[in-house]
Amino acid sequence: MPIYEFICIDCQKCFDKLCSLKDDLSQIKCEFCSSRNIKKKMSAFATSRDENDHDSHSGSSCSSCSSGSCSTCGH
């Protein structure tokens, strides 16, 4: 079974949870404050860090359009 890493939005703490694929991840609670306001973190294998940085950068560099692609405003 895979181990998922979660981060609690409320208390900002991380915890690991052993989950089966059948488990409903929305039923998982924070181990520290029992909040359900948690996010599943991506595994270390995810290579989306560069992509995310690029996305956030391009998104913030253009304030005149909300599409993010900036194909209409020329930025």
Residues forming the site for Zn ion (CB under 5 A) = 8, 10-11, 30, 32-33, 35
Q: Name residues whose C-beta falls within 8 Å of residue 24's C-beta, 6 or more positions apart in sequence.
A: none
Query: At its nearest, how many Å lie between Zn ion and the CB of residue 16?
Result: 14
Query: At its nearest, how many Å lie between Zn ion and the CB of residue 17?
Result: 13
Q: Name residues whose C-beta falls within 8 Å of residue 29's C-beta, 6 or more positions apart in sequence.
A: 35, 36, 38
Query: At its nearest, how many Å lie between Zn ion and the CB of residue 26?
Result: 15
